[in-house]
């Protein structure tokens, strides 16, 4: 028996702000979640699998119209024609979708209830799937605690959209539960969703996040896809394999420019690194320059020109697009900008360090600032920039420090 486990499809997830980037492959990125789903369906049919399990967040919130739902329904119908059943639970984003409740899906799709756990048995395949979806988007109940005990004589799968526990603090804890809660059900495999990074939490029993099927921005890097599980005749897991589905990939490229004396040398080094990036699919890359270099001040002063020259270099590769350039270099003299400037930088670094470790205090100081009111709602929303995330604030603090340092050096 073989089944495919996927989650967090986020079909037609909006890619905000791409129009601001010159030469951005907007159409390719906009359609990437659909193309990834098509790859999923193709893989399921070609293998073939006995079932497809979708662990929540098929959709990305409410729709402007029915087109997203009709597209998903059409893809599920392809699986139906191949005789493949689909078992799915709703996640927090699905619960935000008001119109999906009136959309009739093909007969091969079983959507689990939201008010209580259900069990679906496929005696022929030897499979029992237990699941419960989200009735509301901000669900904080421990759904796993209410799941039934295992069915004897079948391979038992728990299908659940959950933040699991505090180990995944970068994600809000929807339907939180512990590994012990999952183990207590006695299942053979837990097909989880919500965490967008592939992770095998445990192997006895198998507790797996497949990650999302398509990266949507620069914080979702690397290969994205699904997990295919093969079970032998004794109902033991034979293999758990990841399969790439993404048609566009986000990557971070850190380039150490230590010892490079001028901008041309830096540009040449980055261009060489571009050649090592796979061209099998569209790749959106974010470049970060690091290291000590005498070109530090020039890199900051001429960032716009450097960005455009690197975009031109990326354009020599058919499937490569430079999304953003970040400068994290330092001067070779250790940032000595004069005695007075050194004191300013020391004070600035101390202040920024404190703010980075106290995001709540920082936001309290900024709450009344007029610029805060100008931030678009989608950026301040739960899936936008994490304004209280110390890592994000620390990144902004580094930008501020580097900018002031380069300006002081230039003014010497």
Query: Contact 296/406 with Cβ under 8 angstroms?
Result: yes
The residue ranges of DSSP E strands in 136-224, in sequence order, are: 155-161, 189-193, 199-203, 206-209
CATH number attached to the domain at 2-244: 3.60.21.10
Find the DSSP H helices in 286-382: 296-301, 303-314, 339-357, 359-366, 377-380
Supply the pLDDT for residue 73. 95
User: Token pair of 59, please?
Assistant: 């959709």
Q: How far is CA 396 from the centre of its chain?
A: 21
Sequence-distant (6+) residues with CB within 8 A of 102 are none
Supply the pLDDT for residue 279. 78
Supply the pLDDT for residue 383. 47
Cis bond before residue 186 (omega within 30° of 0): no
Supply the pLDDT for residue 382. 46
Q: What is the mean pLDDT of each run of 10 residues along the chain (412 residues)?
A: 97 69 81 97 98 93 79 97 97 73 89 95 97 85 93 97 69 82 97 96 97 93 97 97 96 95 95 89 94 91 92 93 92 59 65 64 65 59 52 65 63 55
Query: Contact 57/161 with Cβ under 8 angstroms?
Result: yes
Query: Contact 321/24 with Cβ under 8 angstroms?
Result: yes
Tell which phi-psi region holds residue 195, choosing left (phi > 0), alpha (psi between -120 and 50) or beta: beta
Write out pLDDT tens, residues 311-348: 999 999 989 999 999 999 988 875 544 445 566 667 76
Write out pLDDT tens, residues 182-229: 999 999 999 999 999 999 999 999 999 999 999 998 889 999 999 999
One DSSP character per residue, 5-33 reads EE----TT---TTGGGSTT--HHHHHTHH
User: Token pair of 303, please?
Assistant: 């960032």
What is the number of alpha carbons within 13 Å of residue 285 lying toward its C-beta?
Answer: 29
CA distance 155 to 109: 20
| Whether the model pTM is above 0.75 | yes
Query: Contact 162/194 with Cβ under 8 angstroms?
Result: yes
CA max distance for the chain: 79
Where in the chain are all domains bearing CATH 3.60.21.10? Answer: 2-244
């Amino acid at each position: 028996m073989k089944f495919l486990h996927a989650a967090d499809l986020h079909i037609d997830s909006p890619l905000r702000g791409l129009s601001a980037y010159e030469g951005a492959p907007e159409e390719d990125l906009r359609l990437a979640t659909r193309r990834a789903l098509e790859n999923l369906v193709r893989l399921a049919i070609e293998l073939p699998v006995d079932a497809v399990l979708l662990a929540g967040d098929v959709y990305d919130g409410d729709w402007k119209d029915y087109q997203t739902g009709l597209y998903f329904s059409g893809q599920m119908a392809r699986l139906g024609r191949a005789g493949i059943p689909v078992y799915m639970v709703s996640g927090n984003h699905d619960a935000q979708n008001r119109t999906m409740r009136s959309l009739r899906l093909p007969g091969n799709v079983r959507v689990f209830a939201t008010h209580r756990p259900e069990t679906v048995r496929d005696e022929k395949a030897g499979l029992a799937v237990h699941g419960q979806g989200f009735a509301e988007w901000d669900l904080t109940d421990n759904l796993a605690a209410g799941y039934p005990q295992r069915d004897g004589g079948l391979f038992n799968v728990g299908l659940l959209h959950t933040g699991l526990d505090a180990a995944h603090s970068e994600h809000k804890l929807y339907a939180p539960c512990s590994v012990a809660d999952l183990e207590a059900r006695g299942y053979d495999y837990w097909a989880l969703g919500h965490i967008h990074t592939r992770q095998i939490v445990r192997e006895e029993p198998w507790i797996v996040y497949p990650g999302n099927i398509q990266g949507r921005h620069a914080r979702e890097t690397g290969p994205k896809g699904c997990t295919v599980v093969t079970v032998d005749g004794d109902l033991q897991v034979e293999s758990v394999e990841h399969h790439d589905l993404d048609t566009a990939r986000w990557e971070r490229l850190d380039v150490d420019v230590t010892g490079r004396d001028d901008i041309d040398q830096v540009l040449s080094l980055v261009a060489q690194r571009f050649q090592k990036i796979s061209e099998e699919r569209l790749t959106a890359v974010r470049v970060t320059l690091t290291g000590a270099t005498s070109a530090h001040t020039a890199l900051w002063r001429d960032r716009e020109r450097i960005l455009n020259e690197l975009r031109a270099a990326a354009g020599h590769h058919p499937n490569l697009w430079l999304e953003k350039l970040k400068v994290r270099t330092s001067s070779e003299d250790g940032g000595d900008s004069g005695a007075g400037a050194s004191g300013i930088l020391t004070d600035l670094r101390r202040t920024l360090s404190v703010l980075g470790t106290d995001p709540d205090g920082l936001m309290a100081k900024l709450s009344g600032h007029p610029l805060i009111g100008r931030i678009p709602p989608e950026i301040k929303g739960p899936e936008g920039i994490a304004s209280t995330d110390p890592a994000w604030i620390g990144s902004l603090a580094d930008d501020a420090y580097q900018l002031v340092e380069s300006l002081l050096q230039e003014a010497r």
